[in-house]
Amino acid sequence: MHDMAPTTVTLAPAAAAGRVVRLGQAQPGDRGVIVDVRAGDAAGDHGVHADELHRRLLEFGFVEGARVEVLHQGAIRRDPIAVRLDDMRIALRRRDAGDVWVLLDAQ
Amino acid sequence: MTDATVPSARVALVGNPNSGKTALFNALTGSRQKVANYAGVTVERKEGHVVTPGGRSLSILDLPGTYSLRARSPDEAVTRDAVLGKLAGEIPPDVVVAVADATNLRLVLRLILELKAVGRPMVLALNMYDIAQRQGLRIDLDGLARELGCPIVTTVATRKRGIEELVAKVDALIGEGALGTANSWREPSAGEIRDAHREAQRILKAHVRPPERPDTFTGKVDGVLLHPIAGLVILFALLFVMFQAVFTWATPVMDLIKGAFGWLGAFVAAHLPAGIVTSFISDGLISGVGSVLVFLPQILILFFFIILLEDFGYMARAAFLMDKIMGGAGLHGRAFIPLLSSFACAIPGIMATRVIDQKRDRITTILVAPLMTCSARIPVYTLIIGAFIPNRQVWGVLNLPGLVMFGLYAAGIVSALAVSFVIRRVMWRGTAEPFLMELPTYKLPDAANVARNVLLRGRIFLSRAGTIILPLMVVVWALSSFPGAPAGATDPAINYSIAGMLGHLLQPVFQPIGFNWQMTVALIPGFAAREVAVAALGTVYAVGGGDGATGALGATLAHHWSIATGLSFLAWYVFAPQCASTIAVVKRETNSWLWPTVMLVYMTALAYLAAFATYQTAAAAGLG
């Protein structure tokens, strides 16, 4: 599946332990703690202002300190992704998840 | 009844989506509710009444679900404005009932903190409390109530548990004359949202102990249903079964209804003196009502599936699976639910687009929603398929009419995707707005709740049939009966009527797509409402042919039309210009005549082209 998105830096879960990655680039099975949620850091057009996307992410509970785990991904270009966020499940696009930085657990 | 000495009060229900808010509303108000709403999401204003044991009449408003008062869609704006008391023509609520899924408190706690800032007297209903208990989730109710400064009631809306206590707490709050505090709410900044989360987290930690037996069922089911390949296969299989069921399960009941109305029409014709009144009752009223009622079973089955999947929690998964596919066509993932609702009727579908925040995404969805095969097309499809497609098995298990029906649905879906793709390319470019959606835990649908909602949809369909279709049927009957045939006329009477004249007048326009003048006549009321076309064909042929039997309409058509004409008629109705009510709703929702006009023009053009291509191809293949 990795070869489907050649522009993305993909890291195997084992190699990524202890690394900080964008949630938008995480793989199913990756888990960790959110360490930063930024406004407009991720490249690309989100259809809304960076600050608006930032606040929406926060409202859904993407806040520093929350635990996150990538559960599933879509069939086409591995998008969107379904994540477990603390005790909730949220679906979002990789593009919009780029502003969320996750410190992956050591495996 | 209401004691005049106890003043009535207004209560608003506010909560996250999927918190069981609507179930709680149903449990509170029972059948005493005014609903101007349809399938899928809570979009319209729903109001109900309950009388407390003390004789106070409470008017309960079910507000659209939201995660924040910082409204992003028209839907959420209604909730915000109603809570703030800024909604035009609405009196602010005396008490706000915050509805929370007891097993999923994190986000709702932040919403409750916002509601606290608004300052209205509040009661917190911890719903689905039975599931929380089963999971071994411990909530320190007294501590939480102290912390939040509002009374807490635990409820199980589907089992009607805790409802009396909730009403009592609300009643007590009003009785005390609680006025709340001044409104200090304003739109929070990113930093304030973070702070509120931290506060919610602290409250959660202090008063809620995590479940001993957390739900693992949802994770296991998602492993299959959200699987990139298996998930899509299951989604399409589900849709396929749904449409096969709509076609096959309904048949026995439909035959029964058809038979009953055929008998009634014949009975009236035989026992009343022949004349204009008898013709009106038998050919106008009875056959008109019958032609519409007969499709109620299919509409109920379709809604049964939609409501069942919604209550189970599958709809959000479907949106997840379909997001990329729809995104490729320029649609937002959230458009899936409005478009799926449009299978029942485009009107609730178009109204459900209010969940889409961005105007462009919303208008694209509105423009293509009527291409989804609404239940009003089922009568037309059923009639033509029954008349022209042989009822035989394909590959042993599938039946051919069901397969053709599926093909027509598929044609609607594909053309909706194609049109939205073109709209994105031609009218505007740019990215769809962010797709962020909660995937709720799976829940066993409650039979009573599903039954209530299915019956509600049936009632809405019937009231629509009564108020729009029936008067139109009478108009069609009048158009096709007046003026009567001159003395000594040899042709059928309808040939001399206004409808006949109109049909003949428009005939040249429809000649190239294989429509005869009877069909052209039926199309005129068909512009008002699609299913009317069937009843109109019934009237035109019953009056013209004089056999008077609605049940035999299919046979009559098979006799009068070529296969190419039948297929062309089907193709026409895949794109057929929408009913008057759809146009009215588009006008209302977009607040402009531009979009309804665009819709009317593009759909008519597509319908004509599709019917033309179908007819000419079929005729060339020797089916003309």
Inform me whether the pLDDT recorded for A90 exceeds 90: yes
Residue of B nearest to A51 (CA): B190
- ipTM at complex level: 0.83
Give the span between the Cα atoms of B327 and B301, in whole angstroms.
29
**Phi, psi values for residue B35, rounded to 5°:** -120, 125
How far CA B314 is from CA of B17, B19, B62, B157, in Å, comes to 14, 15, 23, 20
Inform me whether the pLDDT recorded for B546 exceeds 50: no
Inform me whether the pLDDT recorded for A66 exceeds 90: yes
Q: Does B435 touch chain A (CB under 8 A)?
A: yes
Instruction: Name every chain A residue with its beta carbon within 8 A of the beta carbon of B361.
Output: 47
How much is the pLDDT for B338?
79
Largest CA distance in chain A: 36
How much is the pLDDT for B33?
66
- Higher per-residue confidence, B316 vs B165: B165
Q: Where are the alpha helices (DSSP H) in B6-62?
A: 21-29
Instruction: Name every chain A residue with its beta carbon within 8 A of the beta carbon of B112.
Output: none
Residue B126 CB partners (closer than 8 Å, separation 6+): B100, B102, B132, B139, B141, B152, B153, B154, B155
The token pair at B192 is 């304030």
* Domain region containing B74: 9-209
Question: Per-residue pLDDT tens for B265-308?
Answer: 888 888 888 777 887 887 777 876 776 677 678 778 877 888 88
Question: Per-residue pLDDT tens for B259-277?
Answer: 888 888 888 888 888 777 8
How much is the pLDDT for A37?
92
Whether CATH 2.30.30.90 fits A18-104: yes
Q: How many CA atoms lie within 13 A of B351 on its CB side?
A: 20
Nearest-CA distance B104 → chain A (Å): 7
- Higher per-residue confidence, B547 vs A59: A59
The mean pLDDT value for B345-356 works out to: 74
Residue B596 CB partners (closer than 8 Å, separation 6+): B583, B586, B587, B590
Inform me whether the pLDDT recorded for A17 exceeds 60: no
Nearest-CA distance A40 → chain B (Å): 13
Instruction: Give the mutation candidate from B320, B321, B359 for the A interface (greatest A CB count, under 10 A).
Output: B320
Domain boundaries of chain A, sorted by first residue: 18-104
Instruction: Give the mutation candidate from A72, A77, A85, A90 for the B interface (greatest B CB count, under 10 A).
Output: A72
Residue B601 within a domain:
no
Give the span between the Cα atoms of B11 and B50, in whole angstroms.
10
**What stretches of chain A adopt beta strand conformation (E)?**
20-22, 31-37, 67-73, 81-85, 88-92, 100-104
Inform me whether the pLDDT recorded for A15 exceeds 80: no
Mean pLDDT of chain A: 81
Choose the closest CB to A48 out of B194, B433, B440: B433
Instruction: Name every chain B residue with its beta carbon within 8 A of the beta carbon of A88.
Output: 104, 106-107, 438
Question: Per-residue pLDDT tens for B204-242?
Answer: 999 999 888 888 899 999 999 999 999 999 998 988 887
The domain total for chain B is: 1
The mean pLDDT value for B471-498 works out to: 72
* DSSP code string of B326-356: HHHTT--GGGHHHHHHTTT-HHHHHHHGGG-
Q: Where are the alpha helices (DSSP H) in A4-43?
A: none
The mean pLDDT value for B241-264 works out to: 81
Question: Per-residue pLDDT tens for B128-142?
Answer: 999 999 999 999 999
Domain at B67, CATH number: 3.40.50.300
Give the span between the Cα atoms of A105 and A86, in whole angstroms.
15
For A63-72, A97-106, B238-247, B414-423, which range has the lowest pLDDT when averaged over its residues? B238-247
How much is the pLDDT for B179?
72
Q: Which residue has the tokens 């397969």?
A: B403
**pLDDT band, very low/low/confident/very high, at A89 (cuts 50, 70, 90):** very high
User: Collapsing DSSP states into helix, strand and coil, what is residue A37?
Assistant: strand
Q: Which of A 63-82 lie inside 8 A of B, CB atoms?
A: 63-65, 71-77, 79-80, 82
Instruction: Give the mutation candidate from A87, A88, A99 for the B interface (greatest B CB count, under 10 A).
Output: A87
Angle at B588 between CA B585 and CA B593, to 5 degrees: 100
Characterize the bridge pairing of strands A31-37 and A20-22: unpaired
| Predicted TM-score of the model (pTM) | 0.78
Choose the closest CB to A92 out of B228, B321, B436: B436
Give the span between the Cα atoms of B531 and B291, in whole angstroms.
8
Give the span between the Cα atoms of B71 and B80, in whole angstroms.
7
How much is the pLDDT for B329?
84
Give the span between the Cα atoms of B479 and B502, in whole angstroms.
10
Contact state of A61 with B323 under an 8 Å Cβ cutoff: no
For A77-86, B30-39, B222-231, B556-565, which range has the lowest pLDDT when averaged over its residues? B30-39
Residue of B nearest to A96 (CA): B434
Reference A67, options A93, A24, A100; nearest CA is A100
Question: Per-residue pLDDT tens for B64-81?
Answer: 889 999 877 777 877 888
How much is the pLDDT for B43?
46
Give the span between the Cα atoms of B455 and B447, in whole angstroms.
12
How much is the pLDDT for A2?
42
**Phi, psi values for residue B123, rounded to 5°:** -125, 135
Give the span between the Cα atoms of B153 and B163, in whole angstroms.
9
- Higher per-residue confidence, B179 vs B373: B373
Q: Where are the alpha helices (DSSP H) in B63-189?
A: 74-84, 106-118, 129-134, 141-148, 163-175
Residue of B nearest to A57 (CA): B436
Inform me whether the pLDDT recorded for B167 exceeds 90: yes
Max avg pLDDT among B114-123, B264-273, B302-311, B420-429: B114-123
How much is the pLDDT for B22?
85
How much is the pLDDT for B548?
41
Mean pLDDT of chain B: 82
- Cα Rg for chain B, rounded, in angstroms? 27
